[in-house]
């Protein structure tokens, strides 16, 4: 598992999250007038995964249950295709959110039933890492009522993964929704991530073989006077240094509704504060994909342009991951 962590966190590479559930993918398709069918989801994932050149930049891709079973037009399964490109295969193993009577006003992530069996099946398909996403809101005094239950479930899922030699990518996402400040986000990340890391350690999960997937300490989407990249970076690094033990195998960032430009700008500022105790990189979905989907619109004639845009967004994220991004790079290409 340590070798997988090292490969995923290789300097100069990042991770694509392409594991949107069918309802999420369909919502994004419908908003752009793309018919939300299984075949269109396959075509879109094929466009992303077969973009020439991404193998230079991507160490891993996270797939969804439907996607890991799909094939390219030439009949090569997506996991086999990724392996042929030297890109590690990841899989989303949680099954979305539920409300439970024990937790008031909070949502917990489900998916523990039959998890061992599913993880085993995914390993047979080539998956070597597995993601589970829980969400937390930035609230008064920060404590999300669901965080303890989510932390327990995250620790249990992580244990099951490690029993199968699969690297868990543990994602307690502090949501960007709301009007909160970056300072409030920092507090919420400290509290949420610390509870999750404690629970992982108490449950005997080996942190060296875990990748933490986290939000950045950004102002809420509806906040007035949003924090700039330097402030976001300072607050993000401080929160993570406070909450994440140095033994954590790696830390990757989700984009969480930031624009593509904002996400790379913030990542760049975070990278400029290196050295950090753990390797860092990105694991974006929307910040890499939203312009690509908007360009593609489900039409084959737009595929080349959409792939060029995708490669470009990935390359900019890679530049940001080493602190070498500048806004002027957005103007070219």
Catalytic residues: 171, 213
Closest by CA to 130, choosing from 13, 287, 15, is 15
265 is an interface residue for ligand 13P by CB under 6 A: no
- Choose, by CB under 6 A, the member of 34, 240, 287, 314 that binds ligand 13P: 287
Q: Under 8 Å CB-to-CB from 185, ≥6 apart: which residues?
A: 138, 174, 176, 215, 216, 217, 218, 219, 220, 235
Is the preceding peptide bond at 254 cis, omega within 30 degrees of 0? no
Query: Does position 313 bind ligand 13P by CB under 6 A?
Result: no
Name the one range near ligand 13P by CB under 6 A: 138-146, 283-291, 296-304, 319-327.
Answer: 283-291
Among 254, 267, 271, 317, binds ligand 13P (CB under 6 A): 254
Q: Which is nearer to ligand 13P, 1 or 17 (CB)?
A: 17
The CB-of-101 to ligand 13P minimum distance in angstroms stands at 26
Output 31 or 304, the one with its CB closest to ligand 13P: 31
Cβ proximity to ligand 13P, 13 vs 133, nearer residue = 133
Residue 25 · residue 41 · CB < 8 Å = yes
How distant, in Å, are the alpha carbons of 106, 149, 243 from that of 212?
22, 18, 11
Q: Which residue has the tokens 């949420």?
A: 192
State yes or no: residue 307 binds ligand 13P (CB under 6 A): no
Q: How far is the CB of 105 from ligand 13P (least distance, A)?
A: 22
Q: Residues 7-46: x/- map of binding to ligand 13P (CB under 6 A)?
A: ----------x-----------------------------
DSSP codes, 121-165 = HHHHTTEEEEEEEEEE---TTS--TTHHHHHHHHHHHHHHHHHTT
Q: Which of 214, 268, 281, 285 binds ligand 13P (CB under 6 A)?
A: 285
Residue 60 near residue 129, CB atoms below 8 Å: yes
Q: What residues numbered 127-146 form the site for ligand 13P, per CB under 6 A?
A: 133
Please list every residue from 172 through 211 that binds ligand 13P, using CB under 6 A: none
- Determine the Cα–Cα distance for residues 321 and 312; give it in Å rounded to an integer: 14
284 counts as binding ligand 13P under rule CB under 6 A: yes
How far apart are the C-alpha atoms of 317 and 13, rounded to whole Å? 9
Residues near ligand 13P, by CB under 6 A: 17, 133, 171, 254-256, 284-287
């Amino acid at each position: 598992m340590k070798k997988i962590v090292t490969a995923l966190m290789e300097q100069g590479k990042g991770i694509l999250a392409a594991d949107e559930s069918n309802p999420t993918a369909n919502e994004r398709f419908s908003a752009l007038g793309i018919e939300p069918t299984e075949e269109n989801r396959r075509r879109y994932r094929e466009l992303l995964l077969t973009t020439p050149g991404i193998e230079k930049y991507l160490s891993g891709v996270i797939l969804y249950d439907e996607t890991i079973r799909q094939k390219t037009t030439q009949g090569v399964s997506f996991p086999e295709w990724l392996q042929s490109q030297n890109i590690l295969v990841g899989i989303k193993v949680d099954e979305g959110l539920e409300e439970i009577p024990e937790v008031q006003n909070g949502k917990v992530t489900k998916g523990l039933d039959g998890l061992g069996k599913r993880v085993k099946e995914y390993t047979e398909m080539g998956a070597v890492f597995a993601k589970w996403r829980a969400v937390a809101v930035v609230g008064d005094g920060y404590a999300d009522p669901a965080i303890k239950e989510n932390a327990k479930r995250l620790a249990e899922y992580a244990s099951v993964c490690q029993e199968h030699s699969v690297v868990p990518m543990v994602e307690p996402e502090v949501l960007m929704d709301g009007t909160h400040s970056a300072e409030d986000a920092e507090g919420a990340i400290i509290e949420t991530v610390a509870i999750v890391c404690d629970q992982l350690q108490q449950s005997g999960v080996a942190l060296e073989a875990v990748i933490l997937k986290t939000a950045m300490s950004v102002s809420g989407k509806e906040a007035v006077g949003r924090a700039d990249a330097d402030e976001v970076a300072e607050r993000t690094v401080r929160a993570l240094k406070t909450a994440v033990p140095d033994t954590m195998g790696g830390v990757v960032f989700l984009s969480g509704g930031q624009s593509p430009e904002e996400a790379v700008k913030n990542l760049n500022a975070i990278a400029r504060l290196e050295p950090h105790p753990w390797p860092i990189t990105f694991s974006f979905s929307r910040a890499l994909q939203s312009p690509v989907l908007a360009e593609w619109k489900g039409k084959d004639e737009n595929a080349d342009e959409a792939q060029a845009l995708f490669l470009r967004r990935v390359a900019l994220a890679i530049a940001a991951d080493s602190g070498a991004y500048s806004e002027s790079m957005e103007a070219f290409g």
